[in-house]
Every structure is written in structure tokens, then in C-alpha cells.
Chain A
């Protein structure tokens, strides 16, 4: 199918919106009625047709507007994109991975023509047609990682692997759930995860690291993570928290359905061929509570998950103060009926909401 790209913003007037198509394919992250951290990883080898899991790098209706937002963030703060000197080869690996994947998966949108090291890259949605020499930085307007991630939705961490450890030595980070690349650059897997509650004690990071170190080329993996965001703001950075934090206090019982968004990250892991680095794309999907409630199963489940989430997690994810108001809203969509297993909305088989009173 061809994609109709939305004309929308992720700041100021927040004209971001999801079509019915985008709501239906939203990566709802809860496969049961409760949530706790786990080493929730699986192979990234496609998924149901039309789902966000189908392609290696999902492109959706928000693509063009998200790339415009990224350019604005970078203009304000160039430190959101950093690459330590030894990471340039990994940047080329990433450029190749994305160009090859997108041109194969979306031939109507992207073209890659290769003649030895002379490459021509055509990105129709963004109106780009560039010819350059692969592995020659002087032939691109930015470093290879920055060049390609200005054209790919989601954040990217490029991890160097040495001494049986992963090191955050490069990244493009403008749509993050409140963490700073500039602060974390150069850290190892345990250091950058230090602020996460409970998961260290549960042994999650030790097991996760072991899994990641063994990821092989051609066998990518994926997992989901989630948090909550008031207004469809992509750039929830700590750098700008003193500016956007106040927006959390603007929720009211009247506007919460439209303003409160579930923020889901589709995180994937690819081994890169020349550098042996690991790339970690973090793709952010936003959906307002009121749009989620159009799926009766998701309404029931979200209420139960938010209600029963341990306090440490609600605090870390930054919505402990708004939780009571969220529950008042969400409880209207929970009639107590059981929910089917798995993340899919099962719209045809799940019962409609039973109206109380």
C-alpha cells in the first residue's frame, strides 16, 4: 500500500494524530492484565501483514513529520547526535543496513542503486536523491550515522562491543523517554541502566546483556518498552524537562482522553557486519487514551495494568501523580469481563464494553 503522510506537529499546537489504520496497528505492549519487567526478547523476523513488526524498519504515516521534528531538535541541540571517533565504520554499517532494508521493504518509497562503492540513494517522501561514495565521509553532508538517521524514524544507539560488554559510543537520540545521550555516551550497559528500579535486583540486565552479546548478523531481535507522555511530545528529553515537565500538570478529567498518551517503544537489535557493533533502534509510537479505548480489550487491560503497576515503576515512568486521574478515566472502560491472551485487539471476537448503570 502507499502511505499517506500526515502533516502534523509534535510540539506547540500538537496536531499529531493517528488514523484508524495507525490505531489498529499500534503496538499495544501488554500481553496480559498485569506488567512487570522481564527479559522480553524475541526474534525480529517479520510479523503479521500490516503490523509494525512486519518490516525491518517500519515506516508509517508519521514519517515525514517526525523527521522534520528531529531536524528541529538537532538545530536546537546538536549534542543529541554524537559518535565517538572509533564508531564511524559502524555508522557506515548502519547506513547500509537501513538503505538496503528500506529499499527492499518499501520499493515504492526508497531506491538504492549500487555500482561498486558509487551509491545513489533516493528517498521519495523526503525528496532526497544523493550520490556518494560508500565509506568516504567527505561525500556526504553529515557523518554516515547522522545522515541516515535523519531519514529514519526512532532513536538509534550504536553500541561498541569489547571485553564482553556493550558501550554506548554513538547515537541519534531525539525521541527519548527522558534519558540523555550526552550524559550516557561512553557508558557501559550496566552504567547507563543504573537509574532503572528493581530490574538490577531481578537479574534482568545480566541476562539481557548475555543475550545481546550473542546476537548474530542476520538474526535481529526485538522487545517492547513503554511509558506515559502528556501531549504527543516526541522530545521528552531530560535536557528540556524544565520546559515540558509542567505539561504533566495540565491534565484534567475533561482533557485526559485526548492529552494522555501511551508511549510504546519498539526496540530492535541488529549485529552490524564490518564493525561487529550492535545497533539498537528505539522506535516510539504514541496513542492517546481515547484512541486506545476504541479497542474494548485494550480499554479493559490498560485499566488493570495501570491500577496494579508497582509504585516504583509508576514513579520511574513519571506518572505517579497523575495515576489517580488516569484510573478514574480508564475505569469507565473496564466492565470486569475477562480479556483474551496476547497483545492483539481481537476486535471481532472480544465483546463490546458493557455499559454500567
Chain B
């Protein structure tokens, strides 16, 4: 089970329904400032790891997936960015699509790739937003790459430099 932030709640709910599950589970959790760690530990999973960021956790995720035995079930929950990236890792490790479940929880933030500089900006919650790499003002295009686990960001003021609308929260 790989989760970040409010994804912990989905795991807590699963465990409440089926306490046996935890005896076989390996939980990889990235808190992102939330306080669920103790609650998850209290479930007494077979293995528990807390990572400070997805990037820090990814080596371990790869290792676990590479060592996976037949019949491994992968459960991904939390932000879109976490689920998309971890799903890529699982697919690359040869885990069939049918063995991967996802459940979105918490922030609606998007992981964005700047089409101009190719830099990824994590946890984007407004449209437009500023690319964290090249500083261009980008709008959030509804075009998603599973390979990058990211949506596409495109310069919003190319035709009228400096004319950048007030950022709106996504999905409001």
C-alpha cells in the first residue's frame, strides 16, 4: 500500500473493514504534513515505512515492486501525483493493471509539467500558476500523460505578455 497525506484515511477504513489484511500489508506512507503516522502504525502492518517525500521513497518503492511475488496486490491512495507516479513504477515492474487499485483522497492538487522547460511542478492548486523551474505563467491544460504522471502546463500570456488572470483555485 502506498499512500500520501489523506490517503491514510482510506487505509484506516480498509483496515476497519478487514483487520486481517494488515498482517500481510506493507505500508509506504508520505505524510506531507499530516498526522496519520501513529494511527497507521497502530494498525500493526507487517511492514511500515514513512518517507519524507515521494522522491525519497521511490528507491524503496522500486525495490519492493521488483521483489514482488505473484499475486501481489498494489493499493495506491492519496493525491493524483502520488498515484500516477507509483502506478508507473508498478507497471514498469510488470505488475498487471488488474492488480493495481487506486483511490483518490485529499487534495485535488495536480502535478504539472511545463511544456516549455519540461520541469515538473508538484501540488499545483491554482490555475494559472508559476512554473517552479523557469518562472513562466502557465495555465493548466486538460491533457494528461500517464508516462509523466502529469498534466500539461502552457504559457498563458505568450500573446499578451504580463496579462495574467488572477489565479483561481482548481475545481472551484
Q: Which residues of A contact B (CB under 8 A)?
A: 79, 180, 182-187, 191, 194-195, 238-246, 248-249, 321
Residues of A contacting B142 with CB < 8 Å? 194-195
Query: Known pairs A185-B147, A195-B143. 17 more at Cβ < 8 A?
Result: A180-B115, A183-B115, A183-B143, A184-B145, A186-B145, A186-B146, A186-B147, A187-B145, A187-B147, A195-B141, A238-B115, A239-B115, A241-B154, A242-B136, A242-B158, A249-B159, A321-B159
| Cα-based distance from A246 to B118 in the complex (angstroms) | 21
- In the assembled complex, B60 has its CB within 8 A of some CB on chain A: no
Query: How many whole Å from B121's CB to the nearest CB in chain A?
Result: 15
0/1 string, B110-140, CB within 8 A of A gives 1: 0001011010000000000000000010000
- In the assembled complex, B148 has its CB within 8 A of some CB on chain A: yes
Query: How many whole Å from A33's CB to the nearest CB in chain B?
Result: 30
| Cα-based distance from A351 to B26 in the complex (angstroms) | 78
**Residue on A with the closest CB to B147?**
A186
Residues of B contacting A182 with CB < 8 Å? 118
Given contacts A186-B146, A194-B143, A195-B142, contact A245 B115 (CB under 8 A): no
Which interface residue of A183, A187, A242 has the most chain B CB atoms within 10 A?
Answer: A242
0/1 string, B17-38, CB within 8 A of A gives 1: 0000000000000000000000
- 17 CB contacts below 8 A, A to B, read A79-B118, A182-B118, A183-B115, A184-B145, A194-B142, A194-B144, A238-B116, A238-B152, A241-B115, A241-B158, A242-B116, A242-B158, A245-B155, A245-B158, A245-B159, A246-B159, A321-B159
**Residue on A with the closest CB to B160?**
A249
Given contacts A191-B144, A191-B146, A194-B144, contact A183 B155 (CB under 8 A): no
- In the assembled complex, B161 has its CB within 8 A of some CB on chain A: yes
Are B136 and A180 in contact (CB-based, < 8 A)? no
Which interface residue of B142, B144, B159, B160 has the most chain A CB atoms within 10 A?
Answer: B159
Are B118 and A242 in contact (CB-based, < 8 A)? no
8 residue pairs, one from A and one from B, having the closest CB atoms: A245-B158, A242-B155, A186-B147, A238-B115, A245-B159, A242-B158, A195-B143, A241-B158
Given contacts A194-B144, A241-B116, contact A246 B154 (CB under 8 A): no
Query: How many whole Å from B155's CB to the nearest CB in chain A?
Result: 4
Are A183 and B152 in contact (CB-based, < 8 A)? yes
| Cα-based distance from A239 to B161 in the complex (angstroms) | 17
Are A248 and B148 in contact (CB-based, < 8 A)? no
Residues of A contacting B146 with CB < 8 Å? 186-187, 191
| Cα-based distance from A244 to B154 in the complex (angstroms) | 13
Given contacts A238-B115, A239-B115, A239-B116, contact A183 B158 (CB under 8 A): no
